[in-house]
Amino acid sequence: MTRGAPDPGLRALSLWWDQVADEDPAALVPRDPLDGDTTADVVVVGAGLTGLWASYYLLEADPALEVLLVEQAVAGFGASGRNGGWCSALFPTSAAGLARRHGPEAARQLRAAMRDTVVEVGGVAAAEEIGCDFAYGGTVTLARGAAQLARVRAAAEEDARWGDETHVLDPDGVAEHVRAAGVVGGSWTPDCARLQPARLVHGLARTLEERGVRIAEGTRALRLSPGAVVTDHGTVRARHVLRATEAWTPGLPGARRAVVPVYSLMVATAPLPAHVWEEIGLARGQTFTDARHLVVYGQRTADDRLAFGGRGAPYHRGSRVRPGFDRDPGVHAHLRGTLVDLFPVLAGVELTHAWGGPLAIPRDWHASVGLDPATGLGWAGGYVGDGLATTNLAGRTLADLVTGTDSPLVRLPWVGHRSPDWEPEPLRWAGVTAGLRTAALADVLERRVGTAGPLPALLGRLTGH
């Protein structure tokens, strides 16, 4: 296969991309686009982790299948190459929410499947020799104030109902994992691994190519129909067409209101010296967050940086997704402030990377996967900020659906779920912006006066939790 010129701009997508490019400069050379009309057994649109995992498990099920991945940019261009590296058992819909919709047993099964998925990702990475810094350190949730502590305790009790293991910790217990300022307690769950997401993406893409999967990059799907995908480089005819386009989905015909793209932004420090890590901890690859409403998340990387992210970037009217939205100086400065507030030892630390990317929120915050047997059209997505592991479950499920395998996975309650559409603009903008502002205001009030009054309940209603 002939390959074009390197695209150094890909480095700026994330710390993770920058590291992959250092190790393997060929990662910056996009694969060839589609060369005119063609056929396949399965065409997958979008080469993020959903598309890659689906292709991987399709080949596991039937190595003779002809699978073609069509990607508008390059594999791992989307959230899959830019995320926080929490490979966790989190799912965007709470277990209680799942139980209300699908029954308690279905909710328990999905929770168990998510816990198993974390193990599965590590297992495939090991089996395929994909070095992605997988470290099964769990997640620490810090409580920094009475309101946060109450939420942490309530969440741990709730988790136990659904088979999840969450240990409530006193400040000393938290300090065994991580030493942060103002901690009054917290919790730890084992069900999360820290990893380097771009290494996972690149390793998977390479594995797939070695097995004969075609990956056409720089090829934009313009329309998905039963039996065919029209792209800007030709039409692919295939019995099965799988959509794995996540935050870009609203750009496809008929899907404008399917999800809203919301940005999550990240920063990373330079590698920190041993004495700083002695103060902070996180010695076993634990990921960490605190119990504020506007999500923050962090990890200690394999090369001893702190990578830290959070929501709060504005929603862009019309569900627009643009490269310029990946960076927001105000949000990046806020992330630095939050990081130093958590770890005062980091005051004045050098931040070497700042980036971001879009994730997709369905109207009911309910991720889904499915395949319409009549048309052969399948999809997976709507993971909000919990897609790193969930894409693997989606990939396995799509493979079973396409090959007609009657497994426990195809009976999980997210299979075939259809989320309602979002409201038309400008209502959509008003609703999403109100949600983001309510979350931020609730955090400020809890910090200043110890309670946010009715705001958390309002947020719960807005997000369907």
Ligand X SMILES: Cc1cc2nc3c(=O)[nH]c(=O)nc-3n(C[C@H](O)[C@H](O)[C@H](O)COP(=O)(O)OP(=O)(O)OC[C@H]3O[C@@H](n4cnc5c(N)ncnc54)[C@H](O)[C@@H]3O)c2cc1C
For position 400 contacting ligand X by CB under 6 A, the verdict is no
CB 182 within 8 A of CB 144: yes
Instruction: Quote the tokens at residue 240.
Output: 């099965």
Instruction: Quote the tokens at residue 367.
Output: 């991720």
Instruction: List Cα–Cα distances, 422 to 360, 382, 412, 419, in angstroms.
Output: 12, 13, 24, 9
For position 93 contacting ligand X by CB under 6 A, the verdict is no
Task: Please give, one letter per residue, the 3-state secondary structure of 438-449.
Answer: HHHHHHHHHHHH
For position 247 contacting ligand X by CB under 6 A, the verdict is yes
For position 195 contacting ligand X by CB under 6 A, the verdict is no
Instruction: List the interface residues with ligand X, window 201-230 (CB under 6 A).
Output: 220-221
CB 413 within 8 A of CB 98: yes
For position 417 contacting ligand X by CB under 6 A, the verdict is no
Nearest in space to 74 (alpha carbons), one of 41, 43, 42, 52: 52
For position 409 contacting ligand X by CB under 6 A, the verdict is no
> Residues 82, 111, 292, 334: which binds ligand X (CB under 6 A)?
82
Spatial separation of the C-alpha atoms in residues 280 and 257, rounded to whole Å: 43
For position 92 contacting ligand X by CB under 6 A, the verdict is no
For position 264 contacting ligand X by CB under 6 A, the verdict is yes
> Residues 381, 395, 435, 456: which binds ligand X (CB under 6 A)?
381
Minimal distance in Å, beta carbon 17 to ligand X?
12
Q: Name the one range near ligand X by CB under 6 A: 77-85, 105-113, 168-176, 455-463.
A: 77-85
**Which residues, 6 or more positions from 130, have their beta carbon under 8 angstroms from its beta carbon?**
124, 199, 200, 203, 204, 207
> Residues 33, 84, 145, 362: which binds ligand X (CB under 6 A)?
84
For position 140 contacting ligand X by CB under 6 A, the verdict is no
> Residues 10, 17, 44, 78: which binds ligand X (CB under 6 A)?
78
Nearer to ligand X, 85 or 145 (CB): 85
Ranked by CB distance to ligand X, the top (closest) residue is 387
Nearest in space to 333 (alpha carbons), one of 306, 360, 312, 358: 312
Instruction: Please count the other Cβ atoms lying within 10 Å of the Cβ belonging to residue 324.
Output: 8
User: If binding means CB under 6 A, how many residues of this protein chain bind ligand X?
Assistant: 45
Minimal distance in Å, beta carbon 185 to ligand X?
23
For position 370 contacting ligand X by CB under 6 A, the verdict is no
Q: Dihedral of the CA atoms 390, 393, 399, 403 (nearest 10)?
A: -140
Nearer to ligand X, 153 or 206 (CB): 206
For position 83 contacting ligand X by CB under 6 A, the verdict is yes
DSSP E strand stretches across 192-254: 192-194, 214-216, 221-225, 228-231, 234-243
Spatial separation of the C-alpha atoms in residues 118 and 300, rounded to whole Å: 18
Instruction: List the interface residues with ligand X, window 286-305 (CB under 6 A).
Output: 297
Instruction: List the interface residues with ligand X, window 4-33 (CB under 6 A).
Output: none
Nearer to ligand X, 147 or 193 (CB): 193
For position 436 contacting ligand X by CB under 6 A, the verdict is no
Nearer to ligand X, 138 or 381 (CB): 381
Minimal distance in Å, beta carbon 29 to ligand X?
16
Q: Name the one range near ligand X by CB under 6 A: 56-64, 106-114, 339-347, 388-396.
A: 388-396
Minimal distance in Å, beta carbon 383 to ligand X?
4
CA atoms within 13 A on the CB side of 94: 14
Give the length of the chain: 465
Instruction: List Cα–Cα distances, 140 to 29, 37, 289, 361, 398, in angstroms.
Output: 38, 50, 6, 25, 32
For strands 67-70 and 38-45, give the pairing.
Answer: parallel
Instruction: List the interface residues with ligand X, window 119-138 (CB under 6 A).
Output: none
Instruction: List the interface residues with ligand X, window 31-60 (CB under 6 A).
Output: 45-51
For position 357 contacting ligand X by CB under 6 A, the verdict is yes
Residue ranges in contact with ligand X by CB under 6 A: 45-51, 70-73, 77-80, 82-86, 88, 220-221, 244-248, 252, 264, 266, 297, 309, 356-359, 381, 383, 385-389, 391
